[in-house]
Amino acid sequence: MTETDRRHPAARVTLTDVADLAGVSVGTASKALSGNGRMRPETRQRVLDAAQRLDFQPNEQARSLLAGRSWTVGLITTDGIGRFSTPVLLGAEDALGAGKISVLLCDTRGDAIRERHYVQTLLGRRVDGIIVTGRRTDPRAPLAGLGGVPTVYALSPSSDPADMSVASDDEGGARLAVEHLISSGRRRIAHITGPAHHAAAQHRARLTEDLLAQADLELCGGRVQFGDWSEAWGRRAARAVLRTAPDTDGFFCGNDQIARGVADTLREEGHRVPDDVAVVGYDNWDTMALASRPPLTTIDMNLGEIGRVAALRLLEAIDGTPTTGVQTVPCKLVMRESS
């Protein structure tokens, strides 16, 4: 009869059982199973053999004690709406779930006091690491008081180059949009985007002007149309562009809400999309892009992949091999009927 057979069938094998069979203390068994501590190789092997014979499966609490980890990760977001943070979270969970790591979600709602509270709460829960995300691509101040807990910033990069950040390749996304319009024969291209003080609007506008200049083209309407991220702004800006440049044949819009407003205005004023004028949006937000008439060609920021890569970088940092700087994730052009 084996050692396992002599036990009650319903009894769970414990670390104490492993230690008893190996003839060592519970502390020595814990160190041997976790790979920590100094001991004779034959002692470590005796513990491993005992665990195998007993088919030892540590519960979550024992697993945490053995590894010195909680097997939990905090995710702090400023995006209460969730349109940007939810895909990032899902991507992170896909990567973390493979390691049986749980995610604790904290929504700061953009409040600095709430953020500090959640940092302290997560540290109190002894999380192994933290992922920070938000609704904007602007660099943000790093979290304070982390006490050495590994942290990765996703979508909203840290302003500290010593931190690890994973961001969308905003300039690459703008390049996909503009080159698509040019390659489809558009030569009178306007750009309508959000507030000038937003990093996303600045980056996309600058590259749009550069790419048009490289193709010996000028921005239609004479300037970038900065405004807000809304359908209403898209409608107003489109009318303004058409008044000054009625021969406009392409619009690159800073997000899908603006693009839907542009498409509505073009249809109302008798311009056929895409026969007369092509429209390209940004974000690939299904609620907007698919409900638009016609459905929008747009740029997908690959938010799920940003979350997945951020989680992988965090796992590396937790395992003692952190990296620093900003890693960008490529965007994708999603073709639909508006171009």
Buried b / exposed e over 202-224, threshold 16 CB at 10 Å, is bbbbebbbebbeeeebebbbeeb
Q: Tell me what pLDDT residue 64 has.
A: 53
Which pTM does this prediction carry? Answer: 0.80
- Residue 280 tokens read as 């390209």
- C-alpha 84/C-alpha 133 separation (Å) is 9
Q: Tell me what pLDDT residue 230 has.
A: 97
Q: Tell me what pLDDT residue 89 has.
A: 87
* Ranges of residues in the chain whose predicted pLDDT is under 70: 1-11, 34-37, 58-68, 80-81, 98-99
- Residue 190 tokens read as 């306007």
Q: Tell me what pLDDT residue 14 has.
A: 80
Q: Tell me what pLDDT residue 57 has.
A: 72
Q: Which pLDDT tens digit goes with each residue over 207-218?
A: 999 999 999 999
- C-alpha 133/C-alpha 152 separation (Å) is 9
Q: Which pLDDT tens digit goes with each residue over 164-187?
A: 999 999 989 999 999 999 999 999
